[in-house]
Chains A and B, each alone.
Chain A
Amino acid sequence: MTTKHISIAKDFSPFPAGRYVTDGPFPGEAFRDQVLLPALREHGDVTVDLDGTNGYGSSFLEEAFGGLVRKGGYSPADLKIRLHIKSQRQSYEVRIWNYIADAVH
């Protein structure tokens, strides 16, 4: 199985913002549907690099990563094995795994 490395700044936008596609050009929903879900379907492991952007709102992160459970049908246990988060700011990683866990409920 291959590993896919995604840099949000390079592969999506340095200016991610908002939750839904109606919120602007680079929201969490678009990142999830156009970049993250295809990568998870085609590759065994996916590493998402969060560095290099102008920061993230919880709205973007929740929709992008919590949405993997709600809309993508992935389980938190599966994601824990296959999804890897890379960031200089550790709180982003903590937040993302919180959203993934909370999306089950």
Chain B
Amino acid sequence: MSLDDFLKWLPPILVVLGWIVVNWQNDKRELRKEARTLIDAAKKSVGEIAVKAVNYHVDGQHGLAFEIKAGLDALEIECERLPFFVVKNSPLMGAHVAFSDAVTGGDFEATAPAKKAPNSPEVATILRTRTEMLAELERVFRVHYLGRGGSRHPWG
């Protein structure tokens, strides 16, 4: 191919390459937006479940048991859309399991569960595992969608 031929084809080649780059960037930005929306929804669910759990255990609002269990199932479905959640023992799965155990463990759904004090170990565990779940959701976003703050390996 002569230089003249090459120069003749250069503009359309550059147009196509430019389109590929812009399309790739748009895809990446849209994926990041979707992930941000998903993570925010999951974080909102975690917060709502934690509030209901505290109301259940501290205030004795035992009618919330079904809402708490349904909320945990819904939260898991949201998390399943995130990278590596379904990998057993991934940090996000571990955080979800710890949060679920804190919320629904002990005497959950007992006939007369003991009312816990706001500063009891049970409530402290609920709040700690809630915070760990929120932090893990943010870590997933940071690592997988912003490309910083750690390895993309599921165990980060």
Interface residues of A (CB under 8 A from B): 17-20, 22-24, 27, 54-60, 62, 89-91, 93-95, 98
Contact = CB atoms under 8 A, between A and B. Distances in A.
B88 A60 contact: no
Contacts of B104: 56-59
A24 B109 contact: yes
Given A19-B110, A91-B76, A95-B100, A57 B93 contact: no
B93 A19 contact: no
Interface stretch (B15-23, B33-41, B65-73): B65-73
B107 A19 contact: yes
A59 B110 contact: yes
B111 interface: yes
B108 interface: yes
B108 A22 contact: no
B111 A98 contact: no
A22 B113 CA distance: 11
B46 to A, nearest CB: 14
A95 B93 CA distance: 10
A59 B107 contact: yes
Contact of A94 (B69, B88, B107): B88
12 contacts: A17-B109, A19-B107, A23-B111, A54-B69, A56-B69, A57-B104, A60-B109, A90-B93, A91-B100, A94-B93, A95-B100, A98-B97
A59 B88 contact: no
B101 A95 contact: yes
Given A54-B69, A56-B69, A91 B111 contact: no
B137 to A, nearest CB: 15
A59 B109 contact: yes
